[in-house]
């Protein structure tokens, strides 16, 4: 298997865009291609991550459309749909194409234009990934699933509303340092939790989750250029190596799991990625976790092996996961504040980590970061892709 390196990274500002989906994705892809500075080297294959173009934007065959927009003929191209884990899934496909020798240069682009529809439609669209007979028909939405999960987690492990708020406050603060983030708004514990007005500022969405426990609905795109280690060296690019990728699945309906607070797919996917990379969670310097809801950052930090089960919230409270802490989590602002255009998210996590490993993350740089970890969480944990990236001197 050939070694694979990331040589180009780019993204759009997340938020609300007036551009079409293909234009948004093109913008990110052009930035990544410019960053890669391929010269005579051509893109052999294009993988496009997206979840909702057919429904939200009434467009299909978007990989072909992107190749056409970018004039990348005759590159191979296909779209990858794996719910909110589409981004990391597309990245995995790109990795496999290069590792196997099928392609030498791959462009991976993830994008979503969710704000073309209203919030009710967007919520229903996301809910369509739940189990159609066991969950969806009863009105279950993703916030509802996350609310039930959070309640169980609180009861069992002592997580409180304050811990959830601390995740949001940390990630909003990080996003202020990220020009690509959707939300540039500092928030305080007083404003979202303890002041009498907090009930209006931060209303309940799905008890115990409140507004600031949930990610926004975003438009945006992110892109990466992958190649072999040899080509990367020839191009004189800093080597950000794909150390490991892991993926695992779990039951579609959350209630069918023996213990719904166990995110088994996260645990298995992380173990696989670490095994492939030949390192462990203790070696990770920075992580991007899928905090579509604040509780997920805490739970994933435990399942990935960074903290013992039930202790993630303590590490958060002690500042371990803040910028400047021992293991900064979501320096980009995470899905919570950077935004969550679902198809783009997995790619955007890896764009952020590439910048971190290059030392190019600006004010949110994690000093000396060498090894990075990403968790891209599909469904409600029924399909999870994790990635380990490593900087080589």
| Contact positions vs other proteins (CB under 8 A) | 15-16, 118-119, 182-188, 190-192, 195-203, 211-212, 214, 216, 337
**Cβ proximity to other proteins, 37 vs 211, nearer residue:** 211
Minimum distance between the CB of residue 18 and other proteins, rounded to whole angstroms?
9
Query: Toward other proteins, which CB reaches closer, 54 or 173?
Result: 173
C-beta of 281 vs 339, nearer to other proteins = 339
CB nearer other proteins, residue 225 or residue 337: 337
Which residue's CB is nearer to other proteins, number 190 or number 230? 190
Nearer to other proteins, 185 or 318 (CB): 185
* Residue 196: count of CB within 10 angstroms of its CB: 6
Question: What is the nearest approach in angstroms of other proteins to the Cβ of residue 5?
Answer: 34
Give me the least distance between CB of 187 and other proteins, in Å please.
Answer: 5
In whole angstroms, the minimum distance from the beta carbon of 111 to other proteins comes to: 18
Write down the least CB distance from residue 70 to other proteins, Å: 26
């Amino acid at each position: 298997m050939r070694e694979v390196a990331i040589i180009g990274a780019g993204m759009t500002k997340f938020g609300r865009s007036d551009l079409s989906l293909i234009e948004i994705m093109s913008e990110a892809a052009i930035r990544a291609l410019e960053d890669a500075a391929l010269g005579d080297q051509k893109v052999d294959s294009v993988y496009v991550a997206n979840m909702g173009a057919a429904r939200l934007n009434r467009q299909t065959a978007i990989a072909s459309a992107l190749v056409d927009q970018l004039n990348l003929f005759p590159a191979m191209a296909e779209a990858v749909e794996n719910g909110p884990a589409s981004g990391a899934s597309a990245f995995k496909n790109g990795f496999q194409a290069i590792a196997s020798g099928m392609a030498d240069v791959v462009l991976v682009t993830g994008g979503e234009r969710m704000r073309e529809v209203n919030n009710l439609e967007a919520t229903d669209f996301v809910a369509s990934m739940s189990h159609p007979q066991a969950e969806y028909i009863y009105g279950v939405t993703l916030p509802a699933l996350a609310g039930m999960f959070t309640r169980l987690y609180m009861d069992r492990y002592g997580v409180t509303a304050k811990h959830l708020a601390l995740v949001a406050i940390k990630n909003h603060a990080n996003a202020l340092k990220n020009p690509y983030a959707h939300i540039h708004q500092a928030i305080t514990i007083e404003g979202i939790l303890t002041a009498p007005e907090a009930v209006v500022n931060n209303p309940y969405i799905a008890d115990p989750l409140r507004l600031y426990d949930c990610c926004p609905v975003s438009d945006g795109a992110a892109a990466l250029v992958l190649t072999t280690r040899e080509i990367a060296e020839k191009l004189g690019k800093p080597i950000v190596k794909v150390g490991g990728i892991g993926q695992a699945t779990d039951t579609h309906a959350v209630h069918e799991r023996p213990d719904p607070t166990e995110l088994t797919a996260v645990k298995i996917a992380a173990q696989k990625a670490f095994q492939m990379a030949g390192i462990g969670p203790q070696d990770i310097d920075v992580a991007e976790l899928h905090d579509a809801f604040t509780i997920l950052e805490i739970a994933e930090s435990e399942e990935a092996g960074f903290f013992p089960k039930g202790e993630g919230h303590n590490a958060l409270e002690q500042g371990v996961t803040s910028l400047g802490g021992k293991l900064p989590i979501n320096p980009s602002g995470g899905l919570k504040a950077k935004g969550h255009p679902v198809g783009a998210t997995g790619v955007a996590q890896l764009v952020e980590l590439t910048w971190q490993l290059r030392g190019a993350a600006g004010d949110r740089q994690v000093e000396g970061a060498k090894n990075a970890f990403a968790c891209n969480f599909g469904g409600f944990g029924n399909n999870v892709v994790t990635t380990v990236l490593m900087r080589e001197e």
